[in-house]
Chains A and B, each alone.
Chain A
Amino acid sequence: MKPKRRQRLVLVGLLVAGVGIAVGLALLALQENINLFFSPSQVAAGEAPVGSPFRLGGMVVDGSVSRVDQSLEIRFDLTDTANTVTVAYTGILPDLFREGQGIVAQGSVNDNGLFTATQVLAKHDETYMPPEVIDALDKAKAMGVQ
């Protein structure tokens, strides 16, 4: 390789590596701000902002969804298996909202620890299967337990 070309190759390498390191360090410093939501454990540990809105993410606990009498308010528990936060929400729920589903709720915590949500988003997993296969898998799992 001609020296001139080698010099350009080195420059290109340095450019890419330099930008990579700079951006990598910046992202490392911003780590917490890039995360979309806080987990119930982070809320329990006091890492989430108090009084100001933030996003809370977790699984809807089975059997915890209830309607508050004579209102459109719905309440459910969000868990990350270690800690649980109760969420109150009035409004339209996404089609994927159901018990056991991953949820991201936007809102804030009051003094009693109740999270009042202004928006509820559903997070789905990366599994794509026909219902029959999921049924078969569930059955197989149930038989394995017995």
Chain B
Amino acid sequence: MNNTTPSAWLVRFHRLGSPPSFYHFSGLIIPWVSAACLILIVAGLYGGLYLAPTDYQQGESYRIIYIHVPSAWMSMFVYVVLATSSAIGLIWRMKLAEAIARATAPIGATYTFIALITGSLWGKPMWGTWWVWDARLTSELILLFLYLGYIALVSAFDDRRTASRAGAVLALVGVVNLPIIHFSVEWWNTLHQGPTITKFDQPSIAISMLIPLLLTAAGFKLHFLVALLASVRAEILDGERRTAWVAELLARKKHA
């Protein structure tokens, strides 16, 4: 059989949506993605913490940017994944989408927590305060509560699928917070500064400082992928424990 025809690839891709294929596929790629993630983060941190020059205003304290900005970006990106997979689960009742939604929430909560903590540790020496109730900080805190609310709501149901549907509604309601976080520094006056890189004109950061930031940001993306795949794998095995393919998997493991 020729597996390289386009239609064969399409079939393969479509099969990824089924739990057993996803389980096998994720088991195969996790080590590779982890290695790439580690390389990107180590390179980014070496560049950011050691090679990058001192900032003219903030001295060495600005080096928190290399984890603060990637985690803040990821806190929002993961929510987009949560909301999208929730919508797919809600509309098409796709099991894998529901599993992905449930798996993303703790990861997104972690990034949001990191963004808030590192921001606080940065704000104390530079702004002069750990926390201020401005629009950016407050909306990011609301994002953390949305994630935690989702986790609590989903764990309150015994039935996995009912839980996913209830969580999906909450996740979709929370989508409104994403533009608020992003534009908060433009719509209102805040203590938090405006965007450096995601604004439309030229980024106002030296290239030698920007490159390590892009490296750690890419590393964080792959970190999310690893965490998501590992988590969905555990979810799938738990949810499908009574199916034939899991029995086959366990039997094969024993004889191997």
- Residues of B whose CB lies within 8 Å of any CB of A are 53-59, 61-62, 65, 87, 90-92, 125-129, 132-135, 169, 172-173, 175-176, 180, 187-191, 193-196, 199, 204-206, 208-209
Contacts and interface: CB of A to CB of B under 8 A. Distances in A.
Interface in A99-146: 104, 119-134
Interface of A: 5, 8-9, 12, 15-16, 19-20, 23-24, 27, 31, 34-37, 39, 57, 92-97, 104, 119-134
B249 to A, nearest CB: 32
B162 to A, nearest CB: 15
Contact of A19 (B59, B176, B191): B176
23 contacts: A5-B92, A9-B91, A12-B90, A16-B172, A27-B187, A31-B188, A36-B133, A36-B134, A36-B190, A36-B191, A39-B189, A95-B61, A96-B57, A96-B126, A126-B194, A126-B196, A128-B62, A129-B204, A130-B54, A130-B56, A130-B206, A130-B208, A131-B56
A95 B126 contact: yes
A81 to B, nearest CB: 15
A93 B128 contact: yes
Query: Closest 7 CB pairs between A and B?
Result: A94-B128, A130-B53, A131-B56, A128-B205, A126-B196, A127-B204, A36-B134
A95 B190 CA distance: 19
Nearest to B194: A126
A122 B56 contact: no
B222 to A, nearest CB: 24
A19 B92 CA distance: 22
B211 to A, nearest CB: 12
A35 B134 CA distance: 7
Given A34-B188, A130-B206, A124 B135 contact: no
Chain A interface, DSSP helix/strand/loop, else mixed: mixed
B172 A12 contact: yes
A19 B127 contact: no
Contacts of B134: 36
Contacts of A93: 128
A37 B132 CA distance: 11
A15 B57 contact: no
Contacts of A124: 57-58, 126-127, 193
Contacts of B180: 23, 27
A44 B216 CA distance: 46
Contacts of A132: 53
A12 B129 CA distance: 41
Contact of A15 (B135, B173, B208): B173
B191 A129 contact: no
Contacts of A97: 128
Given A35-B189, A121-B129, A129-B209, 19 more contacts: A12-B87, A12-B90, A12-B91, A19-B176, A20-B176, A23-B176, A31-B188, A35-B188, A36-B133, A36-B191, A94-B126, A96-B57, A122-B126, A123-B191, A124-B58, A125-B204, A127-B205, A131-B54, A134-B56
